Amino acid sequence: MEAVIVAKEEVKPKQGTELSGSQAVLEALIAEKVDTVFGYPGGAIMPIYDALYDYHEQLKHILVRHEQGGIHAAQGYARSSGKVGVVFATSGPGATNLVTGLADAQIDSTPLVCITGQVFAHLLGTDAFQETDVINITAPVTKWNYQVTDAIEIPEVLAKAFYIARSGRPGPVLIDITKNAQLQKFDYQGYCKCDHIRSYRPKPIIRNEFIEEAAKLINAAEKPFVVFGQGVILGKAEKEFKCFIEKSGIPAAWTILGLSALPTEHPLNMGMLGMHGNYGPNVMTNECDVLIAVGMRFDDRVTGRLDKYAKQAKVIHLDIDPSEIDKNVKATVGVWGDCKETLPLLTKLIQSKVYPQWVEKFKNFQQEEETQVIFDELHPDTEQLTMGEVLRVLNELTNGDAIIVTDVGQHQMVACRYAKFNQTRSNVTSGGLGTMGFALPAAIGAKFGAPERTVVAIIGDGGIQMTIQELGTIMQTGINVKILILNNQFLGMVRQWQQLFHDKRYSFVDIASPDYVMVAKGYGIEGNSVKDRALLQPALETMLQHNGSYLLEVMVGKENNVFPMVPQGCSVSEIRLK
């Protein structure tokens, strides 16, 4: 049975009421319309948890089994809902266990507010029990962090935290609150949301002259190409982007975090960029005459060798973060601003066109990839199942309407290549950091963020063992998450590299697994394991139709590789089909 939050009449404390710092924290969350908090209690944050006892009808708290699970769950919640994810953790190891998730959220621009407890202010710097300098530890992996030692600061600091986390290019914020500040009573003057901070400009000023220059380049182009990333989703600009694509007639391809911003089956959607992306988008990057980048950062997994990347093209780069423009790829025209605002201005100035011969070249490459790679992956004639065919059957059963949460490895690349999506915010994965162990807790959070949607976590046999304890969170909350383990009995992506580039010297990639079905059963979760093709579709149907969480293990080929592939150190034109 899934956890249900019951609406209660909100009672706001009157201005001038005496509150504790802990109560002020919770009042801030309610004012920011937070409905779900992921966390784990401990000594230094105990006053906040004590206050939460009286607020539990207004704030749903999800007790995770590890703080890393808590922050990944908050990421999944933020990615599926578009809201700010919130995490509680105690001091010392509780706070340091958040660091991986903070780094993941920072590089993937996920809005989070993390609240950590800290030892009493007079003990700071004394190496007190469970004291760590969380501010200096987390400074490189947060958009902003701050330590509160006086309760009076709490309303203003948390207002800033939410504003910074969600505005401009989103990111994680950490607020560390000493125990004395949590306990301290003060004259509460109410909560005022923040909408401005001096010296902080979340959106750069749009410069019309650059939009005009970009439009001229696009209108004169003969072989234009659009590459788009998560900035389209974060800016809630999917409609604006689709209008731009359809008026311009320009073929487009996505980074893995941009996946689902444009429906998979859209006729101008040419597929995935990057190391394991589609053949056409990679090769055509080095053939286009104008490259239009929207809300993406030219990550090395997308560009391959920078000195051989799109050197023939004039580059137009639209981004909300000015620091990304010219960082990796020199732009001919840099268009600063939120793409929800800049895309309509650009669309207005461009000519309505079609490029049938240019688009046909993409389709020819797609057909070649289909013949040499995709058909055998989705319809293998081998005895062993492939990851691709599992995705094919899953697509047929979900009709592209599910949220797919992937871990990191071969299964991630296969899922991103072959999963079908009809709506935005459907692909949740660890992109920039590549965090194994991400998927299970992120899927829990994604389901809380979008309770009406089917959520399927696709995980490898390596990643599942990193955060398998979060099955306990599923057990306790009754949340309905479908867990699909693709088990190739290897750390598959590392093994693939060792096979291709290290003479098959398989060094410590042969990983043993427990009986996942029995483990799930120990947590009260039904499950099954299949390896026969005839049983695959019925097993997936059972998983999806089951009332509640379900774990399905599918045994796949041990040494299957993910292709195409751009080898490290090569240009995107050197992509290998086999």
Name the residues annotated as catalytic. Answer: 67, 129-130, 179, 493
Question: What is the rounded distance in angstroms from the CA atom of residue 13 to the CA atom of residue 16?
Answer: 8
User: CA dist 354 to 221, 226, 248, Å?
Assistant: 11, 14, 7
* Phi, psi dihedrals of residue 191, rounded to the nearest 5°: -115, 125
- In the beta sheet, which residues pair with residue 316? 292, 333
- The token duo for 220 is 């004169």
Residue 565 DSSP code: B
Residue 548 Rama label (left phi>0; alpha psi -120 to 50; beta): left
Closest CA to 224 of 279, 294, 308, 295: 294
Answer whether 387's CB lies under 8 Å from 430's CB: no
User: CA dist 557 to 49, 130, 243, 266, 339, Å?
Assistant: 47, 46, 42, 32, 42
Strand order in the sheet with 224-228: 269-272, 252-254, 224-228, 290-294, 314-319, 333-336
Closest CA to 133 of 71, 70, 91, 171: 91
Question: What is the rounded distance in angstroms from the CA atom of residue 565 to the CA atom of residue 317?
Answer: 25
Token match 């004039």: residue? 314
3-state secondary structure (DSSP) of residue 164: helix
Question: What is the rounded distance in angstroms from the CA atom of residue 103 to the CA atom of residue 143?
Answer: 10
Question: What is the rounded distance in angstroms from the CA atom of residue 377 to the CA atom of residue 392?
Answer: 9
How crowded is residue 570: how many other Cβ atoms within 10 Å of its Cβ? 15
469 CB burial (10 A radius; 0-12, 13-18, 19+): middle
Question: What is the rounded distance in angstroms from the CA atom of residue 319 to the CA atom of residue 334?
Answer: 8
What is the rounded radius of gyration, in angstroms, for the C-alpha atoms of the chain?
A: 24
Question: What is the rounded distance in angstroms from the CA atom of residue 2 to the CA atom of residue 448?
Answer: 10
3-state secondary structure (DSSP) of residue 304: strand
Question: What is the rounded distance in angstroms from the CA atom of residue 542 to the CA atom of residue 530?
Answer: 12
Strands 85-89 and 112-118 turn out to be parallel
533 CB burial (10 A radius; 0-12, 13-18, 19+): middle
